[in-house]
Structure 1
């Protein structure tokens, strides 16, 4: 059994400070084997915001997998945006834009989908698709395989956003390598979907799990939230932990159970 804490869209620079300490305490109480942060650590990619984000990361349990989001690329400084888009991220967070964690039960690969040429959208390139194949295809079926991006592969019904660029090409590699789960953020909304609902590739359905915003004041109609994902062989449980302001704590608001079948992951009763 492996337990993951999945946080996203921290947005330091526009954070509800009352949430930060309870979130850290709850994360430590859960006792995860891995913490995953799927992008947008800052609001405007400023050095001071990255320093705040760094302090927050250091206070979380480890090990951690972290990927950048579109807000971690400077918006208003054109030179930095196009010539040094992730320099501050690399300086304060990590040099590794393709972080990888593997043990006897899980393999987790992070991919950077943030790009200079788009304000909100993101993209996966051909080299990253090759990286999925190199890292994931050789692993045995006993390993639950997980890919982490900031930009989503699926959307809640009615969402005005777009899925990540080259999603269909990436899904072909994901299906061929038997990737089980895709974790992402960006929407500030919690959501669970199946890749087969949008992409008919490879005859296998991966589980797509979105996290809401853990600490930002930009909730988009949903309370601050994060996911706890428990993985045990052919079973995956997802707990949605939502901020409860009246109690000053995060509590479980919903739980879902999924089971693996020959065609991939399906929701269980």
Structure 2
């Protein structure tokens, strides 16, 4: 089993500073195998904001896999936006815009969906889709295959205030061919976990789609600051959402879901009362104890 911490939409430049220290401490207590950040590290892609984000990442456990978001592209500096949209991201966060993490149990591939010609929307291109397909296909069927983007390939059924990433449909078809299991994203500042079968009719295939809320920003959209803790193993993934409790100055378990794979499709498993809490990060209202989510 692997423990993956999923953070998103940090938005340094517009954060709740009281969250940073407790968040770092609790992530260390969880002893993750990988920390994933799915974009929007800054509010306006300024050097000072990237430096703050860099200090935050340096305080977190390694290894890490990070991808940029649309807020990491300059908004008002048109020359930088068009000619070097991710120059500061590359300088302060990382040169690799298609990062890959690989161990004995999982492969995680990051895809850059940020584009200079749009304000908030994102897109993937054919080259990115094909490269990701080849990398995941080469990993073998015994591996859990994870894709990380800022903009989502799917969202739960219901009102949508953000569009899906451009070329989502051909991308999902390619992901079906290589057996992608889990899609992690952010952008919408609300958390969710569901099967892609709700919105994609791909015979014999579905992926588990997990959204993270904003971990540190004051730009909430009706949901408290939160992050995800995923317990990942072959054919089963548990998704725990930890939400910020201002009075306690800590994150507490807000929701847990478990999904199981049958064939090449993912299904939510009905929870027994308190199921998953003993093996999860924490009971509601309590601190995540050190190591309880570790594999």
Residues 240/77 of structure 1: CA separation in 2 closer, same or farther (3 Å cut): same
| Aligned equivalents of 1:153, 1:126: Cα separation in 2 | 15
TM, length-normalised to structure 1: 0.98
Greater displacement, 136-145 / 2-11: 136-145
Cα deviations by residue, 1:150-199 (Å, 9 ceiling, x for unpaired): 00112242122110000001101111100000000000000112212212
**Displacement after TM superposition at 1:3 (Å):** 0.3
- Aligned-residue Cα RMSD (Å) equals 0.8
**Cα deviation digits, residues 36-66 of structure 1 (max 9, x gap):** 0000000000000000000000000000000
Determine helix, strand or coil for the equivalent of 1:21: helix
Query: What does residue 68 of structure 2 align with?
Result: 68
CA distance in 2, matches of 1:267, 1:133: 25
1:206 equivalent to 2:204? Answer no
For residues 212 and 58 of structure 2, what CA distance do their matches in structure 1 show? 21
Q: Aligned residue for 1:260?
A: 261
Show structure 1 runs of 4+ deviating over 4 A.
none
* 1:1-269 equivalence runs, <5 A: 1-156=1-156, 157-201=158-202, 203-269=204-270
Q: Bigger CA drift: 242-251 or 151-160?
A: 151-160
Q: TM-score by structure 2 length?
A: 0.90
Q: Secondary structure at the match of 1:146?
A: strand
Please list every run of 5 or more consecutive structure 1 residues that lacks an aligned counterpart in the other structure. none
| Aligned mates of 2:203, 2:116 — CA distance in 1 | 31
The CA distance in 1 between the partners of 2:203 and 2:84, in whole Å, is 37
Distance of 1:94 and 1:56 partners within structure 2:
14
Q: State the aligned residue count.
A: 269
Give, in angstroms, the shift of residue 201 of structure 1.
2.7
SS of 1:138's partner is helix
Corresponding position of 2:291: none
SS in 1 for 2:139: coil
Q: Is the contact made by 1:172 and 1:202 (CA closer than 8 Å) also made in structure 2?
A: no
Q: Structure 2: any 5+ residue segments left out of the alignment?
A: 271-295
